[in-house]
Structure 1
Amino acid sequence: MSWNPFSRHTGSKKSLGVSRHAERELERDVKKLEELEEASKKLYKDGRRFTEANTALGKAEQKIVQGLMGSGLCQCDESFQADMVTWESQLEELQRHRQDMNSNIQKTFVDPMKKFSSVFPAVQSAVKKRDQSLQEYNKIKSKFSKYQEKERTGQNIVKLDSNRKALDIAQKEFDTQDNAVRQDVAKLYEGRTEYFRPSFGALVRSQLTYNTEAFKMYSAVASELFRNSKCSENERKDRMKQTLADMKALSITKDD
């Protein structure tokens, strides 16, 4: 939901306390922060989904191996059963590396995104407070202008002086908040890359470490599975096609 107060002033007359150009500049900067907030929330959610998907992938692969080990394929073929035992043992080790990766991603990516998102409520409050200060200044300014146009009676002069003092106070209050918001909004937006870069780097390093270990383990499994085979990958594919064709040619598999 938008927390940009400037959207309420679209099409309204120029604010008395600040130029239209200055107001539009701040509006653009605040809009950027609003978009940055949405982006950081999305990164947080996507990071969580990423770790959940990693966990689900590991469970799915374990189910495949467990299903094979419980099937007639393993029970009737000791060599194939030994291959599955090797695969299963590698998966157990790989699962530990996957847990380490998920833990690192949680600490270095997911948690930092959540912490970054937590700063925006305070920003929202500061922007709204500045907007309220501007509206209060405009209200007093309008009242002061009316007394300037009135007849210079004793009572009106007293009220004019009173409103002038109130206007000075409102002006100082608004200037203080306006300067603080403008400076801090710019600094927050400019610092986004410096904050995000380490998290993105850690995400890549975590995946690199995990995938390096995964490559080693799958290579070991592949070496075990094909230890007695001197066929190339294409030759293995051709053999599988031929075996399937031979099976389909059996009398019990032929279509009537």
Structure 2
Amino acid sequence: MSWNPFSRLSAPKKTVISRTAEREFEKEVKKLEELDEVTRKLYKDAKRLVEANNAVSKSERKLTQDLLTSALCQGEDTLHRNVEEWDHAVVTLDLHSQDLNAATQKTLIDPMKKFNSIFPNVQAAVKKREQSLQEFQKCQAKVDKYQERDRTGQNVVKLDQSKKSLALAKEDFQVQNSALVEDMPKLYESRIDYFHPSLEALIRSQVTHNTEAYKVYSELSSTLCGLKNYTDDEYKSRMQQTLSEIKALSITVDD
């Protein structure tokens, strides 16, 4: 959602600040707007990652549970024992998945949510500064108008009042503008120091999870297939041979 206030339908021809300064300010606002969009997307993607991890664990557990209660396993003791071993491995791996999800929540989702909470305040400050700028320009226009009029007593009074209003409007704008000009680049530059530890911690958690998953499935493979003495190439060869034998089976149906 865009929150850049600079797409005004009719900008005044005469401005109280230089167009160069205003363009530089707009660039900083645009950078923060894009950063806002990126962090919100990262937050949503991280939540989907947790949901996907949960879905994978639930799907594999359902698969093993369905097999254990199926007629296929009921009449085959060896197959039943193998599926039980698989089910135990799935339960163990699910614990590691829960640890990964907890780490993702702590190292990425929560920090992103906290970082995203900053942008509504920035948006409000930018809009307030824009309103202050409009008031500044309005007061300047009044001063210009009365300066061009005849110096009657009434016009002199109105000019004096307009100048006082202009001084207040200018001071208010300068305070708000100076704060944003100083703080917005700092906020943008801080993103690296803020994001880097989160992403590093997430990657380490994923490495830990994947390492444990490899151990669990390696032990399961050895238990089910007795492959402790087989290399990967030998295992692939045996699998291919089995598949070839299955394809060669001839199934007939009696009339």
- TM-score normalised by length of structure 2: 0.92
* Aligned residue in 2 for 1:101: 100
| More divergent stretch after superposition (91-100 vs 226-235) | 226-235
* Aligned residue in 2 for 1:153: 152
* Aligned residue in 2 for 1:47: 46
Q: Does the 8 Å contact 1:14/1:20 carry over to 2?
A: no
1:104 CA displacement: 1.1
1:126 CA displacement: 0.4
1:245 CA displacement: 2.4
* Aligned residue in 1 for 2:25: 26
Which of 227, 236, 244 matches 2:246? Answer: 244
Structure 2 counterpart of 1:175, which letter? Answer: Q
1:202 CA displacement: 1.5
| More divergent stretch after superposition (135-144 vs 92-101) | 92-101
1:196 CA displacement: 0.9
Calculate percent identity across the aligned residue pairs: 48
| CA RMSD, 1 decimal | 2.0
* Aligned residue in 1 for 2:197: 198
For residues 47 and 14 of structure 1, the distance between their equivalents in structure 2, rounded to whole angstroms, comes to: 46
- TM-score normalised by length of structure 1: 0.92
Map 1:58-73 to 2 at 5 A. 58-73=57-72
Q: For residue 133 of structure 2, give the secondary structure of its aligned residue in structure 1.
A: helix
Unaligned runs of 5+ in 2: none
Map 1:215-234 to 2 at 5 A. 215-227=214-226, 232-234=234-236
In the comparison of the two structures, how many residue pairs are matched? 252
1:169 CA displacement: 1.3
Structure 2 counterpart of 1:191, which letter? Answer: S
Give yes or no for the alignment of 1:116 onto 2:119. Answer: no
For residues 79 and 18 of structure 1, the distance between their equivalents in structure 2, rounded to whole angstroms, comes to: 83
Q: For residue 6 of structure 2, give the secondary structure of its aligned residue in structure 1.
A: helix
For residues 201 and 152 of structure 1, the distance between their equivalents in structure 2, rounded to whole angstroms, comes to: 70
| More divergent stretch after superposition (232-241 vs 144-153) | 232-241
Structure 2 counterpart of 1:235, which letter? Answer: S
Q: For residue 8 of structure 1, give the secondary structure of its aligned residue in structure 2.
A: coil
* Aligned residue in 1 for 2:83: 84
For residues 75 and 29 of structure 2, the distance between their equivalents in structure 1, rounded to whole angstroms, comes to: 69
Unaligned runs of 5+ in 1: none
* Aligned residue in 1 for 2:237: 235
Runs (4+) off by over 6 Å: 228-231
Q: Does the 8 Å contact 1:41/1:113 carry over to 2?
A: yes
Structure 1 counterpart of 2:123, which letter? Answer: Q
